Amino acid sequence: MAQAIPGTVIFDGVQARRGYALNKMCYSFNSAENRAEFLRDEEAYCRRFGLDEASRAAIGRRNVLELIAAGGNIYYLAKFAGMFRMSVQDIGAQQTGMPVEAFKAMLAAKGK
């Protein structure tokens, strides 16, 4: 990539290679059966997909910025977050360090 965009990680080949196992696990959460399996035994499920230490720790902390740093792509991560009923506002609030209501108010203010 020619330029760095503040607050933005471009999901390119480097990220896609780094996060392959993590994204593959999150892609599996399209299936209700797999979601239930993860919730039943998170450790075993992560082991099955061969997550590295950074991904495993970020999954444990439900931390989106760390998951992105580990190579996670937001579309697959959304399936992970969805298991915990986290909306994209919850995810946005977590990443920007704002309370959810403040994040929603920030979005609403952009419509004014």
Partner 1 sequence: MARIVGMVTTSHIPAIGAAIAKGQQDEPYWKPFFGAFGAVHAWLDKVRPEAAVVVYNDHGLQFFLDKLPTFAIGAADEYRNADEGWGLPVQPPYRGDAAFSWHLVESLMADEFDLTTCQEMLVDHAFTVPLKLLWPGAGRCPVRTVPVSVNTIQHPLPTPARCLKLGRALGRAIASYPEDLKVLVLGTGGLSHQLDGKRAGFINRGFDEMCMAAMVEDPDALARYSIPQIVEAAGSQGVELVNWLVARAALGPRVAKVHSNYHVPISNTASGLMVLENAN
Cα separation, 80 vs 90, in Å, equals 13
CB of residue 102 to partner 1, shortest distance in Å: 10
Q: Considering only residues 39, 44, 60, 96, which one is a binding residue for partner 1 as defined by CB under 8 A?
A: 96
Alpha carbon separation from 29 to 33, 61, 77, 84, 104 (Å, rounded) = 8, 18, 9, 12, 27
Contact between 100 and 90 (Cβ < 8 Å): yes
Shortest Cβ distance from residue 45 to partner 1 (Å)?
A: 14
Q: Which is nearer to partner 1, 27 or 52 (CB)?
A: 27
User: Does residue 88 belong to the site contacting partner 1 (CB under 8 A)?
Assistant: yes
Query: Other CB atoms closer than 10 Å to residue 28's CB: what's the count?
Result: 19
Residue list 18-77, contact with partner 1 (CB under 8 A): 20, 23-24, 26-27, 29-32, 35, 64-65, 68, 73-77
**Could you tell me the smallest distance in angstroms from the CB atom of residue 7 to partner 1?**
3
